[in-house]
Every structure is written in structure tokens, then in C-alpha cells.
Amino acid sequence: MANRFFVPAKTFQFTTGINWSSATLRALLVMANSTADADLRATFLTDFAVFDEMNGAGYTRQTLTGVTLTDDLPTGDIIVDCADVNFGATISNGTRQIKGIVVFLDGGSDAARRPLIWLDSVANGPSFPYTPGGGPVKLVPGTKGLFRIRSTTAAA
């Protein structure tokens, strides 16, 4: 299990730019058959070889709210945080277990929505793979935020 950036999202960030605190960022759940965790070169949601979005009753895609960026002075990392993300209070089991979360930049359709980050390891929320069993699926960012943009040393 490892959280990762999609490669085209990083390229888009460095060429066109994403204002993380004002852009419409959304999140969705994918199930066990999804290739989202492996298709890290996907530019749009329709580029996943197998999409397999959560199909349990009560589930809905969510917009991230209260997105903030903070400079973590000791590490130089940028902490991206948001309000709790609640995919539904009473979500029935889908046809397969939930495998992880895709955070994406919204567009007019899935063919224009850019996957940004794959999450399958979270500090506060479900452990993946996960079966909701009629309960909530809620992601609560921890003290380290939703994710970190790591500071790295430039190659010489």
C-alpha cells in the first residue's frame, strides 16, 4: 500500500499549474478490480484500464472543502489538508471491497477529470481493502494532513 501522485498530474502542476486551495478537487472510491493504483500515467479518469468505481447504495463522489496548504518548516514539505470527506453515512457493500481513493481535479466529464493522487493508506479512516457493511465511509485527515508534497533535493 502506498499513496502516489499520478505522473501527468505532476507534469500538469509544473507546466499549467493547479491552485490547490481554489481548484475544485473531488474524491471517489474504487473497488478491488480497479487499476487506478497501477495506471499512474493516466491523464484522465477514462484512461484507467479498469475504472471499477464503488457501486454500493448510499455512496457518492465528494468535493473536498476547506483545502489549505501549509509549509511544514522542519521538513520543507507542503501539507495539503481539507475538511473531513464523507462518502456517505450508510453505504451498502458494493460488488467488491473498496480498494482506495482517487483525488481528482474536476472537469466537465470523466474524460476531462484529471486524477491527481491515489490514496490507499490514510491516518484516520478506513483500512483498505474495506467493506462498509451499511456504515459510513469517512476520510478524516490527520495531523499530517490529507497528503504531503515532499520536498526533494534537485539533481545536479
Is 14 within a domain? yes
Q: Give phi and psi for 97, each to the nearest 5.
A: -70, 155
Rounded average pLDDT over 75-81: 87
| Overall domain count for the chain | 1
What range defines the domain where residue 62 resides? 4-149
Is 66 within a domain? yes
pTM for this entry: 0.91
- Residue 32: its H or E element: none
Is 156 within a domain? no
Contacts of residue 147, defined as CB under 8 A and 6 or more positions apart, other chains included, come to: 3, 80, 103, 117, 119
Q: Is 7 left (phi over 0), alpha (psi -120 to 50) or beta?
A: alpha
Is 50 within a domain? yes
Tens-digit pLDDT profile for residues 103-155:
999 998 999 999 999 998 877 778 899 999 999 999 888 878 888 877 665 55
> Are the beta carbons of 117 and 45 closer than 8 angstroms?
no
Tens-digit pLDDT profile for residues 31-44:
999 999 999 999 99
The percent of residues above 90 in pLDDT, for the chain, comes to 64
